[in-house]
């Protein structure tokens, strides 16, 4: 009943919104043009702006409207294997979790284990390190080089020093020919076209369907790249 009441309120507000042509104010161009006005309003009446945003969020969340709550699952293989096909795995998890527990989620991200740090030590202790590296080498897919995350993301440590990616940061691998630039250095230094520091662990990102913090990359469309990567074969 409470949900129905909220639904009626939201439907009414949506009706008024379109009846008074207010949607014209929500175009990207209008929002950009009015950005300064919005910042001034926020500075003048922070409680009003925060209150409206809060009420909007509560309504959207209470009604479970799309966009209110995003839940993604992350899948990591438990041993020295590559993740299964991400799309097929997502379909299986969606079906099983809904049928058995009524759980919905948005996306499943299948991420390969990198042969470094804790997982690398575990492989060494079980005598599986060389086999896992062979598996990664044999499944190297050059097509993934276009979309590995270091092509358009960098990693910054807590002190403000920059690396090509989280894994290089964990291994203390500085940028090729640049050392460890600090964020403040980037005001003077351009990293456009900078060669990415690669090593054996990069096979973890490029094997099979590819892997990144956003899951498989094999099916991703090409993205604009800011840094160059050497062929790691």
- Closest to ligand SF4 by CB, 132 vs 167, is 167
Q: How far is the CB of 140 from ligand SF4 (least distance, A)?
A: 11
- Closest to ligand SF4 by CB, 30 vs 120, is 120
Contact status, residue 169 vs residue 179, Cβ threshold 8 Å: no
Residues that bind ligand SF4 (CB under 6 A): 148-150, 164-165, 167-168, 196, 198, 201-202, 205
- Closest to ligand SF4 by CB, 89 vs 217, is 217
- Closest to ligand SF4 by CB, 59 vs 178, is 178
b/e for 202-218, b at 16 or more Cβ within 10 A? bbbbbbbbbbbeebbbb
Closest CA relative to residue 93, chosen from 108, 81, 113: 108
Q: How far is the CB of 226 from ligand SF4 (least distance, A)?
A: 13
Rounded distance, CA 198 to CA 192, Å?
Answer: 17
- Closest to ligand SF4 by CB, 89 vs 229, is 229
- Closest to ligand SF4 by CB, 138 vs 200, is 200
Q: How far is the CB of 120 from ligand SF4 (least distance, A)?
A: 13
CA atoms within 13 A on the CB side of 172: 1
Helix segments in the chain, DSSP class H: 2-19, 28-33, 35-44, 46-62, 86-101, 117-125, 129-138, 166-171, 203-206
Q: How far is the CB of 154 from ligand SF4 (least distance, A)?
A: 10
Q: How far is the CB of 149 from ligand SF4 (least distance, A)?
A: 5
Pairing mode of beta strands 107-110, 155-156: unpaired
Q: How many CB atoms lie within 10 A of CB 183?
A: 12
Q: How far is the CB of 73 from ligand SF4 (least distance, A)?
A: 22
- Closest to ligand SF4 by CB, 31 vs 141, is 141
> Cβ-count burial of 186 within 10 angstroms (0-12 exposed, 13-18 middle, 19+ buried)?
middle
- What's the sign of the alpha-carbon dihedral 25, 27, 28, 29? negative
Contact status, residue 98 vs residue 149, Cβ threshold 8 Å: no
Q: How far is the CB of 155 from ligand SF4 (least distance, A)?
A: 8
């Amino acid at each position: 009943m409470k949900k129905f009441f909220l639904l009626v309120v939201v439907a009414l507000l949506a009706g008024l919104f379109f009846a008074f042509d207010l949607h014209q104010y929500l175009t990207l161009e209008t929002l950009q043009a009015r950005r300064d006005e919005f910042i001034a309003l926020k500075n003048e009446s922070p409680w009003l702006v925060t209150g409206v945003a809060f009420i909007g969020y509560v309504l959207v969340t209470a009604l479970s409207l799309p966009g209110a709550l995003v839940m993604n699952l992350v899948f990591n293989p438990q041993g020295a294997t590559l993740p299964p096909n991400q799309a097929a795995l997502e379909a299986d998890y969606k079906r099983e979790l809904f049928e058995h527990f009524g759980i919905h989620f948005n996306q499943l991200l299948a991420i390969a284990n990198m042969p470094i740090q804790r997982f690398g030590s575990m492989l060494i202790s079980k005598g599986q390190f060389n086999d896992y590296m062979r598996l990664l080498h044999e499944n190297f897919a050059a097509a993934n080089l276009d979309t590995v995350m270091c092509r358009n993301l960098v990693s910054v440590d807590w002190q403000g020093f920059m690396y090509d990616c989280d894994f290089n940061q964990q291994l203390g691998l500085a940028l090729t020919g640049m050392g460890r630039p600090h964020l403040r250095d980037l005001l003077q230094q351009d990293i456009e076209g900078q060669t990415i520091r690669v090593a054996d662990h990069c096979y973890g990102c490029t094997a099979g369907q590819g892997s990144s913090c956003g899951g498989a990359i094999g099916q991703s469309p090409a993205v604009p790249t800011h840094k160059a990567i050497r062929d790691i074969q």
